[in-house]
């Protein structure tokens, strides 16, 4: 490859040619498409000598299946690029961000597929994040809790847009604990499936919005309630009444619930 010092964007797909990273001083965007572990290791080994001059601000990683056992390589690459502003982890495997305490002071946008615990790990190392889009899995014990109410806990004070998609049910307590860390969030979107009818309780959500997320103005809840037990009682009228309070009328809130196969569109909201 010639004139590599003039490249602004590079996409690597199972490459054979070795790039000279010391020449990529103009690189701003790097996409690693289905790369293997050796390629990630090659990049990591080259970074120490170029990190100060490399101004890479956008990283996209799409892993191949053979990387499943070495996912923390992506985490190491992530924290080795302190100038990152935007990052996309586009693979359905999971990393452990607990391996690092390095702060990503410039990161503003993150798209990721992760466990719920990974979001809590990310909070102290991504203080400047503004936009977060996450697909959530939760394979932790339901009893697991995070103390996020204390004033001494690091919070996502810059986060304004939060979009979550629950691929596997997440305990509502963990969801509320996460929202405790987002005092500046303006837009919150939550989609996914759960068997917990409490996710439909407008009073519980209102309590969060009036104590922890005071800046919230745009809410979208798209909850599909699945595996509801016959003995569980559900009253549509009572549920709707909990969303007819002044808090919901003053803000631009939209909630759509699918219950037992039937969709309920809550009325009186705009998005």
Of residues 3 and 268, which shows the higher confidence score? 3
pLDDT digits (tens, 9 = 90+) for 95-151: 778 777 788 888 999 999 888 888 888 999 999 999 999 988 765 544 455 565 555
In the chain, what percentage of residues exceed pLDDT 70?
68
pLDDT at 32 over 70: yes
Please give the mean pLDDT across all residues of the chain.
75
- Residues 6+ positions from 38 with CB-CB distance below 8 Å: none
Determine contact, residues 73/44, Cβ cutoff 8 Å: yes
- What pLDDT is attached to residue 132? 97
Give the pLDDT band of residue 51 (cuts 50, 70, 90).
low
- What pLDDT is attached to residue 265? 47
Q: Return the closest-CA partner of residue 136 out of 192, 200, 97.
A: 192
Determine contact, residues 146/118, Cβ cutoff 8 Å: no
Q: Considering Cα of 168, then 172, then 173, then 175, what sign does the dihedral take?
A: positive
171: tokens are 């305990």
- What pLDDT is attached to residue 101? 76
- Residues 6+ positions from 210 with CB-CB distance below 8 Å: 247
Of residues 222 and 178, which shows the higher confidence score? 178
> Where do we find the tokens 């199972």?
14
> What SS3 string covers the chain?
CCCHHHCCEEEEECCCCCCCHHHCCCCCEEEEEEECHHHHHHHHHHHHHCCCCCCCCEEEEEECHHHHHHCHHHHHHHHCCCCCCEEEECCCCCCCHHHCCCCCCCCCEEEEEEEHHHHHHHHHHCCCCCEEEEEEECCCCCCCCCCCCCCCCCCCCCCCEEEEEECCCCCHHHHHHHHCCCCCCCEEEEEEEECCHHHHCHHHHHHHHHHCCCCCCEEEEEEEECCCCCCCCCCHHHHHHCCCCHHHHHCEEEEEEEECCEEEECCCCCC
Calculated CA dihedral for residues 97, 103, 107, 108, nearest 10 degrees = 90
Q: Where are the domains of the chain?
A: 1-107, 119-127+156-271
The predicted model gives 226-238 an average pLDDT of 69
- What pLDDT is attached to residue 127? 92
The predicted model gives 191-205 an average pLDDT of 85
Q: What is the pTM of this model?
A: 0.82
pLDDT at 70 over 80: no
Give the pLDDT band of residue 44 (cuts 50, 70, 90).
confident
């Amino acid at each position: 490859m010639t004139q590599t010092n003039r490249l602004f964007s590079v996409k690597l797909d199972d490459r054979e040619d070795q790039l000279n990273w010391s020449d990529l001083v103009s690189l701003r965007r790097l996409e690693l498409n289905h790369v293997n572990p050796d390629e990630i290791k090659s990049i990591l080994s080259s970074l120490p000598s170029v990190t100060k001059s490399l101004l890479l601000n956008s990283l996209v990683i799409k892993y191949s299946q053979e990387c499943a056992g070495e996912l923390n390589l992506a985490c190491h690459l992530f924290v080795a690029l302190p100038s990152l502003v935007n990052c996309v982890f586009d693979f359905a495997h999971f990393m452990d961000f607990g391996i690092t305490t390095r702060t990503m002071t410039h990161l503003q946008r993150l798209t990721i597929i992760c466990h719920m615990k990974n979001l809590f790990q990310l909070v102290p190392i991504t203080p400047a994040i503004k936009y977060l889009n996450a697909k959530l899995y939760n394979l932790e014990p339901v009893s697991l809790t995070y103390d996020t109410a204390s004033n001494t806990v690091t919070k996502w004070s810059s986060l304004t847009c939060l979009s979550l998609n629950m691929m596997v049910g997440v305990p509502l307590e963990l969801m509320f604990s996460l929202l405790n860390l987002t005092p500046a969030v303006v837009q919150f979107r939550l989609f996914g499936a759960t068997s917990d009818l409490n996710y439909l309780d407008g009073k519980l959500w209102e309590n969060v919005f009036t104590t922890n997320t005071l800046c919230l103005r745009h809410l979208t809840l798209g909850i599909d309630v699945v595996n509801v037990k016959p003995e569980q009682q559900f009253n549509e009228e009572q549920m709707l009444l909990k969303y007819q309070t002044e808090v919901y009328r003053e803000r631009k809130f939209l909630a759509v619930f699918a219950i037992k196969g039937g969709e309920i569109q809550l009325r009186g909201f705009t998005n």
